[in-house]
Amino acid sequence: MTTVAVGTRAAVRRAADAAPVGGLWARTDLALVVGANAVGLVLIVVGWLGSSDALTLNAGVDWLKVGIVGVIFAGVCNGLFLLRGRRAVGLARRAVLGVPRDRRAVVVEDEVALVARPGSRRVHRPTCPMVAGKPVEAVAAVGDLTPCELCRPGVAG
Ligand SMILES: [Zn+2]
């Protein structure tokens, strides 16, 4: 009985750790980026203190390398953190707009027909959320009309 409760609590904790905070990052992502920046900061401070005590230029350069490694480490970790957020934005965008992962299927579908709202000069793919549920007219080609910036008709992939 106690084992089940502990297991359930651990599962809840894992789910809470994986849950997005603010919609973009999970708690573990935030913890990892804070930890990585702390490590980078420690390397920078160690390099700074080491180079200030160095008696020769070569020893100072060696400590400088430690600081540079700290800057690069923190920068790479921050970049990966931002890429995770960018990925979350892409997944949310797909979920909201209903964009399929394989864009080739959309291109084949759009070669069949383009649509425009009556009286509008903006051309959309039939699956564009900007025209979803609205009255549209079929358009043969983009021609002189303005392609929609969201669904980008006539642009492959
Ligand atoms: Zn559109």
Tell me the pLDDT tens digit for each residue of 42-56. Answer: 999 999 999 998 899
Q: What are phi and psi of 86, to 5 degrees?
A: -65, -40
CA of 123 to the centre of ligand 1 (A): 7
Say if residue 94's pLDDT is above 70. yes
CA of 156 to the centre of ligand 1 (A): 14
Out of 3-17, 18-32, 129-143, the most confident range is 129-143
Average pLDDT for 28-51: 93
Average pLDDT for 145-155: 85
CA of 87 to the centre of ligand 1 (A): 22
Percentages of the chain per state (helix, strand, coil), in multiples of 5: 60, 10, 30
CA of 91 to the centre of ligand 1 (A): 19
- Burial classification of residue 70, based on how many CB atoms lie within 10 Å of its CB (0-12 exposed, 13-18 middle, 19 or more buried): buried
Per-residue confidence (pLDDT) for residue 15, from 0 to 100: 44
pLDDT band at residue 73, thresholds of 50, 70 and 90?
A: very high
Which position has the higher pLDDT, 78 or 100? Answer: 78
Say if residue 11's pLDDT is above 80. no
CA of 119 to the centre of ligand 1 (A): 15
CA of 131 to the centre of ligand 1 (A): 7
How large is the greatest C-alpha to C-alpha distance in the chain, in angstroms? 79
CA of 82 to the centre of ligand 1 (A): 28
Per-residue confidence (pLDDT) for residue 151, from 0 to 100: 87
Say if residue 91's pLDDT is above 70. yes
CA of 109 to the centre of ligand 1 (A): 14
Q: What is the dihedral of CA 38, 43, 48, 54, to 10 degrees?
A: 160
CA of 150 to the centre of ligand 1 (A): 5
Q: Which of 20-24, 45-49, 105-109 is the least confident region? A: 105-109
Residue 3 in tokens: 């084992």
